[in-house]
Amino acid sequence: MIRILVIQLRRLGDVMMTTPLLRQLRRAMPRARIDLLSEEASRPLVGLNPHLDEFIRMPAHATLVDLLDMARLLRARRYDWVIDCQGLPKTALLARSTGAPVRVGYGGRWWRRPAYTARHVAAGAEYSARDKLRLLARLLDGCAAPDLADLDLEIPVGPEVRRAGEAFCRSWFDGAPVLPPARPDGPRRWPVAALFGVSRRSYKVWPPEHLVEIGRRLERRGLRPFLVFGPGEAEAALRVAAGLGPGALVDYPVPGILVLKEILARCALFVGNDGGPKHLASASGIPAVAVFGHVHPEAWTRPDDPGQRWVATASSSRRLPTAGPCEPAATLAELPVEAVWRTLERLLADLAPLFQPGKGVV
């Protein structure tokens, strides 16, 4: 039996982007043992993933002692293949320490060369899930080429989580759902717009007053604003809600990440910063418009989904060219409301007849 280790330590969006690779790896190697090395925060996203045999917990903010202990553990497991989906110095070190005869990772930096037996060098900006699949192509080396169009983010949830998401919406969104499912097998949706305006990383935050204006305009379209936030972010969300009408939903108990995914699946629309909630919305199949500054928009927006749109500053594509137009703004603070609203209006027009300008949701 072939033993395979996949390394993706952190950041919820990155872990979600790894799930197409896990699915196709299992498809190509149905009898292999497939383990994932990641930090504890990732466990809910992959806890029910049918393609994994074991989740190996890496301590957050690992010390040198932690790294050495993990290196010994991984070497003792005698992996045959290793796929490093992150390409950090410590993940490259861990990949090398396994002693696996086949180790695949990202090339381009001199210190990565001893870590891997095969390397993938990105030719330009590409959706992260597809870019990770190219690692799998290097691993399989033409034996069973991965399907680069199979990009669904796979985040399985149990019936208890589904019921919790439904109960939240019935309790907090009021009234009966009036929109059809985002996907044929999905839940019906409420006329609610999820707004995400907070982040622990300041370079990802669009000014709250801009998001407030977007929320007001969506309210006039008949969409109730739902302010999305996580633990420790309630104060920032309340500042956004203060500029909206009394119908804005913000004072609610913070749900777990899987319940949030089920809640977002029952919303009509997502608008806001790049981050974990944006990827949860994408995984749920609902339309979304995300604002980007500093990070490249095409790396985090599924290219074959017309419901996923982005608005970015010129600084987002400074290192790599982008196929789409960027706004002439150096920072998110300079990104105007009208740029985002134009993109939203085009999206709402494409979603007709669900949304009727001036008539609310029908």
- Find the domain containing 247 and state its range: 160-361
Per-residue 3-state assignment (H helix, E strand, C coil) for the chain:
CCEEEEECCCCHHHHHHHHHHHHHHHHHCCCCEEEEEEEHHHHHHHCCCCCCCEEEEECCCCCHHHHHHHHHHHHHCCCCEEEECCCCHHHHHHHHHCCCCEEEEECCCHHHHHHCCEEECCCCCCCHHHHHHHHHHHHHCCCCCCCCCCCCCCCCCCHHHHHHHHHHHHHHCCCCCCECCCCCCCCCECCEEEEECCCCCHHHCCCHHHHHHHHHHHHHCCCEEEEECCCCCHHHHHHHHCCCCCCCECCCCCCCHHHHHHHHCCCCEEEEECCHHHHHHHHHCCCEEEEECCCCHHHCCCCCCCCEEEEEEHHHHCCCCCCCCCECCCCHHHCCHHHHHHHHHHHHHHCCCCEECCCEEC
- Tell me the pLDDT tens digit for each residue of 129-153: 999 999 998 887 656 778 889 999 9
User: How high is the pLDDT of residue 358?
Assistant: 37
User: How high is the pLDDT of residue 267?
Assistant: 94
Judgement on whether residues 310 and 164 belong to the same structural domain of the protein: yes
Judgement on whether residues 168 and 317 belong to the same structural domain of the protein: yes
User: How high is the pLDDT of residue 58?
Assistant: 92
Residue 47 lies in a domain: yes
User: How high is the pLDDT of residue 139?
Assistant: 81
Low pLDDT (below 50) residues in the chain? 356-362
Residue 15 lies in a domain: yes
**Residue 179 belongs to a domain with what CATH number?**
3.40.50.2000
Residue 128 lies in a domain: yes
User: How high is the pLDDT of residue 181?
Assistant: 82
Judgement on whether residues 322 and 184 belong to the same structural domain of the protein: yes
Judgement on whether residues 99 and 236 belong to the same structural domain of the protein: no
pTM, full prediction:
0.89
Total count of domains within the chain: 2
User: How high is the pLDDT of residue 331?
Assistant: 82
Judgement on whether residues 178 and 247 belong to the same structural domain of the protein: yes
User: How high is the pLDDT of residue 322?
Assistant: 59
Judgement on whether residues 281 and 353 belong to the same structural domain of the protein: yes
User: How high is the pLDDT of residue 357?
Assistant: 38
Residue 288 lies in a domain: yes
- Tell me the pLDDT tens digit for each residue of 43-69: 999 999 999 999 999 998 888 898 999
